[in-house]
Amino acid sequence: MTGMVDDVEADEVIERSWERKALLTVVTLLAFGAFLLILWPFVTPIAWALCLAVATSRPYRALTAQLGGRPKLAALVMVLLVPVALLLPLMLVGGMLVEEVKSFDIGEVVAHVESGLAAGGEGGKLRPRLDSAAEFLGYEDFDALSGALQKGTQELARRFVTGSLAKGVLDVLFAPFLFLFGFVVMLITLYFVYCDGKRLRDVVVDVSPFTLPETERILDSLRGTTTAALLGGVLVALIQGGLGSVSFAIAGLDAPVLWGLVMAGASLFPFGGTALVWAPAAVYLFITGSTGAGIFLVVWGLVIVGTADNVLRPWILSRTGAHDVHPMMLFFAIMSGIGLFGISGVVFGPLLLALITTVLRIYREREGSRATPATAA
């Protein structure tokens, strides 16, 4: 009888223990949710600070050693270098972009193509087709369509320079101040992440529901993906865009900075990539009689620009350990990230992909693979 009473009391103790754990879990989740709600307006600058700190950890450690082991001074120097490295090129490129968009005339390009086709016996066939396409899109003719495109491109360029893609007059007026405030928050966060990164990492390890090796694996995956996204994605895209601008300028094409920016965006596509920009430009040069410039553009695109994509990007991915991510999955992660977070999604999308895939791999290793091995026919 005494044994039965002891068993009942033990069951009650276990039940109370589970109730306490459940209550603690609920309270912890609510507190964490409230904490995220408070930080949500600053999630983008904080996330960018974390990404930049991870991607520049090696230069930071080297600078700390050069300064005699003074991490706070090294962090201050790194933070002061960030505005120069980010804002100065943006301002220079933005100013050139606005000027090029103002002077760029789509109708003039069509006229050159038309005259080139006329020289080859195909004159008069292009313009009616373009007018038909414009009518299909709801415009009176191609001139109306090209005017609308030029006006819209100028507006996008203006908003690009001010850092605003918001709608409405008030949003456009306040967007530069909001951007500046977010940039300052990012710099402050970056400083403290540099100084207290080790302590922050220890907190993540302590509260993680995974084992220590699994948590280390997740953090390593996020670190590698961050570096790969910034260097293998953004940096390589900017390099390819810069090389494209140089080639367009040498070939005598209008708006080289504009097309270089378009080429940088096209480099994120897994199929076609930068060829989606320089190949039509080369065709345009051939049609208009600039055969030498067209051949130069093709060779430059295949050899110079292609080297950055076929050599530099895989090398960066192999160095960061992110080479096992399928290109198609990476493409969808980037596009979805841009849809959710704007331009920041170029980095945040791959980060979410890395987190999900790593957790799924850990789960699969815990549970074991249920797939039946394929047998040879």
Short-list 18, 207, 183, CA closest to 10: 18
Asked whether residue 269 is domain-assigned, the answer is yes
Q: Answer for the pair 83, 187: CB distance below 8 angstroms, yes or no.
A: yes
Structurally, the chain folds into a number of domains equal to 1
Asked whether residue 220 is domain-assigned, the answer is yes
Q: Answer for the pair 329, 356: CB distance below 8 angstroms, yes or no.
A: no
As to burial, measured by CB atoms within 10 angstroms (0-12 exposed, 13-18 middle, 19+ buried), residue 193 is: buried
Give the tens place of pLDDT for each residue, 44-69: 888 888 888 887 888 888 999 998 88
Supply the pLDDT for residue 122.
Answer: 46
Q: Answer for the pair 186, 46: CB distance below 8 angstroms, yes or no.
A: yes
Asked whether residue 49 is domain-assigned, the answer is no
**How far is it, in rounded angstroms, from Cα 44 to Cα 337?**
12
Pair of tokens at residue 364: 């699969």
Asked whether residue 17 is domain-assigned, the answer is no
- Please, what is the average pLDDT of the chain? 74
Q: Answer for the pair 323, 317: CB distance below 8 angstroms, yes or no.
A: yes
Q: CA separation (Å) from 239 to 161, 166, 318?
A: 20, 28, 19
pLDDT band for 191, please (50, 70, 90 cuts): very high
pLDDT band for 165, please (50, 70, 90 cuts): very low
pLDDT band for 205, please (50, 70, 90 cuts): confident
Q: Answer for the pair 240, 255: CB distance below 8 angstroms, yes or no.
A: no
Asked whether residue 341 is domain-assigned, the answer is yes
Structural domain of residue 296, as residue ranges?
Answer: 210-367
pTM comes to 0.61
Helix (H, G, I), strand (E, B) or coil at 288: coil
Asked whether residue 248 is domain-assigned, the answer is yes
Asked whether residue 144 is domain-assigned, the answer is no
Supply the pLDDT for residue 99.
Answer: 63
Give the tens place of pLDDT for each residue, 313-356: 767 666 665 555 666 777 777 778 877 777 777 778 888 888 88
pLDDT band for 3, please (50, 70, 90 cuts): low
The winner for highest mean pLDDT among 44-48, 189-193, 263-267 is 189-193
Asked whether residue 356 is domain-assigned, the answer is yes
Please report, rounded to a whole number, the percentage of residues in the chain having pLDDT higher than 90.
Answer: 2
